Amino acid sequence: MNILIIGSGGREHALAWKIRQSHRCINLYIMPGNPGTAQCGTNINLDLHDHEGIKLFCLKNDVDLVVVGPEAPLVDGLTDAFRSDDTAHISVVGPTAYASQLEGSKAFAKKFMKKYKIPTAAYNEVTKENISTGYDFMSNIPGPYVLKADGLAAGKGVLIINDLEEAKSQLSEMLDGKFGKASEIVVIEEFLSGIEFSVFALTDGKNYILLPEAKDYKRVGNGDTGLNTGGMGAISPVPFVDDILWQKVINNIIKPTIEGIHLEQMDYIGFVFFGLINVAGNPYVIEYNCRLGDPETEVVLPRIESDLVEVFDKLVNGHISDCHLTISPDAAATVMMVSGGYPGDFEKNKIISGYEDIISSLIFHSGTDYFNQEIVTSGGRVLAVTTLHRDFKEAVKISIRNANKIMYENKNYRTDIGFDL
Ligand code: AMP
Ligand code: GLY
């Protein structure tokens, strides 16, 4: 098979690394990719908004399968574009625009969860016209207050505010365009107190398989302090997810979600990322994503021993229920090396060195680029350093030791991934 991966981060490097190992993969392309993915296949620089250009590339290069990493192209309708007659023979792992609203619209996701009785925080959907119902809703729940921009806001559209008056004023600012069009609708939620974890399903819209669960660490500082980031590290498996919790996740959340997708006749072939929170032993959905997580992918895929291309092949041909994933008993930990200053302002183009001889960890490129024949930093999140070990604490230690060896100006990383487990 010839395969195209869409995206350019650590998740896409991990996908490329895993797909490259399959004997079923002949040519592998990554669009646009990064210097890490270039070790697994050929990077292709095309504008991801140019659906016709991407289709043309696939037709010219006999691409059989497209795997979409990030949410934006999905919400933007890339999968829908491939459903037209000329490219209907090309399979896409990634849902259509309508189905991607499970991530692309918080209001859509909440309505869906309510309809299918999936446990989630109580909520109220507000626009400028009915802001007073939002004020009333907040007055009747205890704080803190969770305000979510309905649309995609690059991971920044959620505010958690303790004070009621401050929450009201932020609600008004959001509806006035604080996050542009994304916050024309705001979902207000009651605050759930618990510990978060992530579960991933691969579905054809009717049947599904589950991938290993993971926990990511979103705050920039040790001890879960400081600003929220895209993710500073992750662990898989998650020790507190025991059989009892796992059964509740399956029965109360996964099954009704997949059934809802089926009953709503969504054209959904791809990953469902369940962002969950364990509230006193009961799982609730914080959010759905229509893709794999980053950096969760960098710990989930290394634990999967099965051939991922075989799995995708079964998925797109309607046989996903015949799949039985073989999972490594080892734990995986990833430590995300970031640019100093991230998630605020940071400098780019810092030369990276010291990674070439590392063999005890996998190094996935997240925000890197070429500059004057050197590999340099190009983003806030730079490299994910993943280690497999039977003891996750040992895996974290090895990743940190290797992160220590990798050099670029102003590097930063957390040294306590998994501290709470
Ligand atoms: P989301 O984009 O919906 O995942 O929200 C971003 C983060 O905000 C989540 O990962 C949680 O840490 C937090 N969060 C969102 N909704 C809630 C909630 N209802 N209760 C507590 N924390 C929340
Ligand atoms: N690590 C969280 C996400 O990918 O959304």
Residue 327: CATH number of its domain: 3.30.470.20
Parent domain of 173: 122-190
**From the CB of residue 242, how many other CB atoms can be counted at a distance below 10 Å?**
10
pLDDT at 155 (0 to 100):
75
Model pTM greater than 0.85? Answer: yes
E strand residue ranges, 69-207: 91-93, 123-126, 145-149, 158-161, 186-190, 195-203
d(CA 324, CA 311): 9
Residues 328-339, mean pLDDT to the nearest whole number: 98
CA of 170 to the centre of ligand 1 (A): 16
Answer yes or no: is the C-beta of 191 below 6 A from any ligand 1 atom: yes
CATH number for position 134: 3.30.1490.20
Regarding whether 213 and 182 lie in a shared domain, the answer is no
pLDDT at 10 (0 to 100):
98
Regarding whether 375 and 388 lie in a shared domain, the answer is yes
Q: Atom 5, ligand 1: which residue's CA is nearest?
A: 158
Q: Is 231 exposed, middle or buried (0-12, 13-18, 19+ CB in 10 A)?
A: buried
Residue from 68, 273, 291, 336 whose mutation best tests the ligand 2 pocket (most atoms within 8 A of CB)? 273
In a domain, 305, yes or no: yes
What are the pLDDT digits (tens) for 57-80?
999 999 999 999 999 999 999 999
Regarding whether 289 and 392 lie in a shared domain, the answer is yes
d(CA 87, CA 92): 10
For 140, 143, 215, 217, the CA distances from 196, given in Å and listed in that order, are: 25, 19, 7, 9
d(CA 220, CA 198): 19
Q: Which ligand is nearest to the CA of 198?
A: 2
Residue 108: pLDDT band by 50, 70, 90 thresholds?
Answer: very high
CA of 84 to the centre of ligand 1 (A): 37
What are the pLDDT digits (tens) for 225-237?
999 899 999 999 9
In a domain, 84, yes or no: yes
- For every residue of 16-78, DSSP letters joined together read HHHHHT-TT---EEEEE--TTGGGTSEE----TT-HHHHHHHHHHTT--EEEE-SSHHHHTTH
Answer yes or no: is the C-beta of 103 below 6 A from any ligand 1 atom: no
In a domain, 314, yes or no: yes
In a domain, 408, yes or no: yes
Per cent of the chain over pLDDT 90 is 98
d(CA 421, CA 419): 6
Regarding whether 371 and 268 lie in a shared domain, the answer is yes
Regarding whether 255 and 162 lie in a shared domain, the answer is no
Q: Atom 5, ligand 2: which residue's CA is nearest?
A: 293
Instruction: Judge whether residue 385 has pLDDT over 80.
Output: yes
Answer yes or no: is the C-beta of 99 below 6 A from any ligand 1 atom: no
Q: Which structure tokens are listed for 78? A: 């890339």
Ligand 2: residues with CB < 6 A are 216, 231, 289, 293-294, 296
- For every residue of 263-295, DSSP letters joined together read HTT----EEEEEEEEEETTEEEEEEEESS--TT
d(CA 413, CA 386): 13
What are the pLDDT digits (tens) for 294-326?
999 999 999 999 999 999 999 999 999 999 999
Residue from 113, 120, 158 whose mutation best tests the ligand 1 pocket (most atoms within 8 A of CB)? 158
Residues 135-149, mean pLDDT to the nearest whole number: 95
Q: Domain count of the chain?
A: 3
CA of 256 to the centre of ligand 1 (A): 21
Q: Atom 3, ligand 2: which residue's CA is nearest?
A: 293
Q: Which long-range contacts (CB under 8 A, 24 or more apart) does 404-408 make?
A: 405/354, 405/355, 405/358, 406/337, 406/352, 406/353, 406/354, 406/355, 406/358, 406/363, 407/352, 407/353, 407/354, 408/350, 408/351, 408/352, 408/353, 408/376, 408/377, 408/382
Domain boundary residue, one of 168, 190, 212: 190
